[in-house]
Amino acid sequence: MTNLKQCSQQDVANFLKFANDIVDKARDIARHYYRQSKKQWTKSDNTWVTEADCAIEEMARVRVKEQFPDHDFFGEEYGDTTSERQLKWCLDPIDGTMAFVYGLPTFGVLIALTENSEPIVGIIELPAMKERWCGARGFTTTWEGQPCRTNLDRSLTDTAVFATSIDMFSDEERELFNRVSLNARERRFGADCYAYGLLASGYIDVVMEADMKAYDLMALVPVDEGPGGIITDWDGKPIKLDSGKQVLAAS
């Protein structure tokens, strides 16, 4: 790392404002293509990529480079910068591209800033729903500008466990997921990143997922920790840039 001095609260506030400006533009791009464009392709891992993913990531990369030429950038579509600078932006231009392709409104835009590999700013934006959660170290998480709080009233046996799909787990992981989720009141699939926002706002209580990448994960941490949620890997360790693919979030 080039500089280990921690960002000030004012720095964090400025980065959050900058991230919001990028997401404003990303919302417009996503809404422009949603249910309109048939230009989509399959990547080598058999997942989707669309015109919207590419346009959003290109826009964000250009803006970060202009504004913060000394920051790193890791995006889903165009990869990771190889340097090890103190600050790195992580972007999933469309999280839930499957939902996006099939016209479902649960897809999102995820952007985060990491400092020495710890996420300090995160935004979960739902373009189709026009809903946005913003989290940052030292700040209260907000939903559409209003402060959020998680729900502390429900036990596991009285609530649902969320995951995007039963197919996101390896056989071994599925066994563990089943052990947790079949002890809950019920389980629910298909919420994508929306689940982590709904957790910050107190609507849901547990999300347990696997097969995540760093650009999927970083934005979730400040959003869910801000209002008192706990978000770690399956071993209970903090989520950082070099974490594994698993995440467990709870109110």
Interacting residues with a copy of itself (CB under 8 A): 35, 46, 98-99, 102-106, 128-129, 160, 162, 165-167, 186-191, 194, 198, 201, 203-204
Shortest separation between residue 181's beta carbon and a copy of itself, angstroms: 9
3-class DSSP state for residue 149? Answer: coil
Instruction: Report the residue number, 79 or 103, with the smaller CB distance to a copy of itself.
Output: 103
Instruction: Report the residue number, 28 or 144, with the smaller CB distance to a copy of itself.
Output: 144
> Amino acid identity of 129?
M
The secondary structure of residue 103, as a DSSP letter, is: T
Shortest separation between residue 124's beta carbon and a copy of itself, angstroms: 14
What own/partner pairs with CB < 8 Å and gap ≥ 24 does 153-158 have?
154/205, 154/251, 156/180, 156/183, 156/184, 156/185, 156/205, 156/206, 157/183, 157/184, 157/185, 158/185
Instruction: Report the residue number, 99 or 223, with the smaller CB distance to a copy of itself.
Output: 99
3-class DSSP state for residue 187? Answer: strand
3-class DSSP state for residue 82? Answer: coil
Residue whose token pair is 């921690």: 6
Instruction: Report the residue number, 12 or 134, with the smaller CB distance to a copy of itself.
Output: 134
Shortest separation between residue 204's beta carbon and a copy of itself, angstroms: 5
Instruction: Report the residue number, 112 or 163, with the smaller CB distance to a copy of itself.
Output: 163
Is the Cα dihedral 140, 143, 146, 150 positive or negative?
A: negative
d(CA 70, CA 85): 7
Shortest separation between residue 210's beta carbon and a copy of itself, angstroms: 15
Shortest separation between residue 20's beta carbon and a copy of itself, angstroms: 23
Instruction: Report H helices in 82-156.
Output: 97-101
Instruction: Report the residue number, 67 or 165, with the smaller CB distance to a copy of itself.
Output: 165
Residue whose token pair is 């417009």: 28
Instruction: Report the residue number, 105 or 228, with the smaller CB distance to a copy of itself.
Output: 105
Shortest separation between residue 16's beta carbon and a copy of itself, angstroms: 24
Shortest separation between residue 229's beta carbon and a copy of itself, angstroms: 15
Task: Choose among 198, 217, 248: nearest CA to 92.
Answer: 217
Task: Check if the beta carbon of residue 75 is closer than 8 Å to that of residue 52.
Answer: no
